[in-house]
Structure 1
């Protein structure tokens, strides 16, 4: 059983999956930074608000002593609200990450297709042309 587990772990698919998870986590931090530090400040500047992720709609009463304009404080106090700015930030982050993954998979498929074509060797037409040329020489 231990050797079967070892064989399973050492299979290419499992190692590929582990690498993909690690790279995916790295991409997630990059895209989060891109979204929060580059894209959303631009969107906030266009919309006229300094911090877009703090945009929300209150759905309930604000307890005494809690700042009614502080999203984090309201959330910590358990005030019901729609945090649409934060949700929009997360959606944009997801779209960026999905696009990056799409581009990587697209590029990898092109590279793999070229490698398969190179490994396939000459086509039948190339072989027949070569035979014809050899026969003409004789």
Structure 2
């Protein structure tokens, strides 16, 4: 598994506007909330994807990627590594641009599935840190 270069990640973040966050918590203490809030504050539209909550960061949550209307640039995943393959399969159903698994999240099977279909895949990297590094 190999992530894109920092230059490629910079390009991804520059052209992206909408980030669907799978596993976004509505608890301000959680990493998913803090990272997504930082990205929202940086100008990205955040779409919470979590069947257990009604809203997060002032945005109504959806229970699955398939419920999102319109195009999604990045699917940012805050789920344990063993769930990444299921999220990757759903990702393929909505034709988003980039699959991004947060720091500590790696699944080789999900990586191979998405790379074989030609999608950019980033794993085990915090999108907030990457955004700060590529400014």
TM-score in terms of structure 1 length = 0.21
Greater relative CO, 1 or 2 (CA 8 Å, sep 6+): 2
Answer 1 or 2: which has greater helix percent.
Answer: 1
Answer 1 or 2: which has greater strand percent.
Answer: 2
